[in-house]
Amino acid sequence: MSDRATPGSERHHVILRPAIKTDVTAIFNLIKALAEYEKLSDMVTGNIDDLTNHLFGERPLIDVIVAEFEGKLVGYTLFFYNYSTFLTKPGIYIEDLFVLQEYRGQGIGKSLVNAVAKLALEKGCGRVEWSVLDWNAPAIMFYENMGADILPDWRICRLTGENLRHFAATVN
């Protein structure tokens, strides 16, 4: 996997590759940068140890493809498998897609999504999905230009924190 980036006026080689264990700290820093961009820094309550375990533990739960430029991780996509009962096929859900500001507009984000799309086809998946914040017009335009449908009639439902604990403890 590779892409070309243009920080400044020179052309530089950006490498897309699966994350390795030594990338976890840099990935966690990119996660915090994404949260800052989305104005959600206070929502980052996770830690590097859990991220490491979820990526490289006995039963990995997530996958990450990173974008590396001159030895520095400048972007990533974090995803996991789900399942469509209507299609009776697995799917991939992209939880995060992020490229550092100074590397945007160079095709890195598109290449990261493309790498996931190719993986989805290799694995026989029926779809790739992700969410976008309704205020993030640049991201919405980016996704629409890729051919993605923005589904206006679907809403995300979420149980977290105390609400999750409370609901799980209720007896039917």
Q: What ranges do the domains of the chain cover? A: 2-169
Which residues are CB-neighbours of 168 under 8 A, at least 6 positions away? none
Residue 117 Cα to chain centre, angstroms? 12
CB 56 within 8 A of CB 21: yes
What is the gyration radius of the CA atoms in the chain, in angstroms? 17
Average pLDDT, the chain: 91
CATH fold group of domain 2-169: Aminopeptidase (3.40.630)
Known catalytic membership, residue 143: yes
In the predicted model, is pLDDT for residue 9 greater than 60? no
93: exposed, middle or buried (C-beta count within 10 Å: 0-12, 13-18, 19+)? middle
Q: From residue 144, how far is each of 45, 148, 149, 165 by CA, in Å? A: 31, 5, 6, 37
In the predicted model, is pLDDT for residue 172 greater than 90? no
pLDDT in tens, 23-54: 999 999 999 999 999 999 999 999 999 999 99
Per-residue confidence (pLDDT) for residue 1, from 0 to 100: 55
Per-residue confidence (pLDDT) for residue 79, from 0 to 100: 98
What confidence tier does 149 reach under pLDDT thresholds 50, 70, 90? very high
Tokens of residue 108, six digits: 């890195």
In whole angstroms, give the CA distance from residue 44 to residue 62: 17
In the predicted model, is pLDDT for residue 7 greater than 80? no
pLDDT in tens, 87-113: 999 999 999 999 999 999 999 999 999
Per-residue confidence (pLDDT) for residue 152, from 0 to 100: 85
Nearest to residue 142, comparing CAs of 132, 154, 128?
132
Per-residue confidence (pLDDT) for residue 12, from 0 to 100: 60
Per-residue confidence (pLDDT) for residue 156, from 0 to 100: 84
Nearest to residue 38, comparing CAs of 108, 135, 103?
135
Nearest to residue 62, comparing CAs of 104, 111, 36, 24?
24
Please provide the size of the chain in residues: 172
> 93 pairs with which residues across the strands?
80, 129
What confidence tier does 154 reach under pLDDT thresholds 50, 70, 90? confident
> 15 pairs with which residues across the strands?
2, 68
Among 81, 83, 93, 143, the one annotated catalytic: 143
